[in-house]
Amino acid sequence: MIKQHNNSDDQKNHDIVWHHATVTRARREAQNNHKAVNLWFTGLSGSGKSTLAHAVEERLHQMGCRTFVFDGDNVRHGLCSDLGFSLEDRSENIRRIGEMVNLFLQAGVIALTAFISPLKKDREKVRAIIGPDNYLEIHCACSLEICEQRDVKGLYKKARAGIIKNYTGISSPYEAPENPALRLDSGATPLEECVKQVISYLQEKQVIPS
């Protein structure tokens, strides 16, 4: 009879040891000529998070920065394909992303994340995982009315009709950040201007060279 492996927390803590590489984050950042940070874009569906994250990445790439965008839908196809959209599953989705972002930061990469991430406690969990100095919260502040007007997937309409359950802004809460690093009026401000504000902020904080 094969004995099942005990996956208790005590066993895991004793058996798993973090390996410290000789090529450190600091060395990777020096080679890249920029710091590694996480730009956490949060906002309602349709607020422009993904569009802005990819536009910022394009600009950073043109400037020679090493970047990667974690997009909400893309992550749901792989890493988090086993999760639904209950508040519990949303929390686990964000926790996994936080752990992935932490690895990318160690690789010296500017990690851009575009997730609704509706609950403050989940965003705070990411801040705790990666460290407050690494977490730059960017609130794409866009009214529900404008988000619904942009509803190209028809998801808000389905949520209003009760076809989709637990939809943020309709039947599930969204807790807006109280003190984000940046709050962008993504409902009225042109995309290029939003990109400029993000890039200027990164230069001001000396994440990237001016």
Q: Which residue has the tokens 């956490």?
A: 40
Calculate helix-pair angle for 25-32, 87-106, nearest 10 degrees: 70
DSSP string, 64-113: T--EEEEEHHHHHHTTTTT--SSHHHHHHHHHHHHHHHHHHHHTT-EEEE
Percent of the chain predicted with pLDDT > 90? 73
Does the annotation mark 210 as catalytic? no
**What is the rounded distance in angstroms from the CA atom of residue 14 to the CA atom of residue 87?**
32
Percent of the chain predicted with pLDDT > 70? 87
Tens of pLDDT along 60-77? 999 999 999 997 666 666
Question: In this model, does residue 5 exceed pLDDT 50?
Answer: no
Beta carbons within 10 angstroms of residue 20's beta carbon: 6
DSSP 179: S
More confident residue, 80 or 90: 90
**CATH domain 24-204 topology:** Rossmann fold (3.40.50)
pLDDT computed for residue 8 by the predictor: 45
Domain definitions of the chain by residue range:
24-204
Quick one: average pLDDT of 99-113? 96
Quick one: average pLDDT of 194-205? 98
pLDDT computed for residue 192 by the predictor: 97
The single residue of 45, 117, 172, 186 carrying the catalytic annotation is: 117
**What is the rounded distance in angstroms from the CA atom of residue 82 to the CA atom of residue 171?**
22
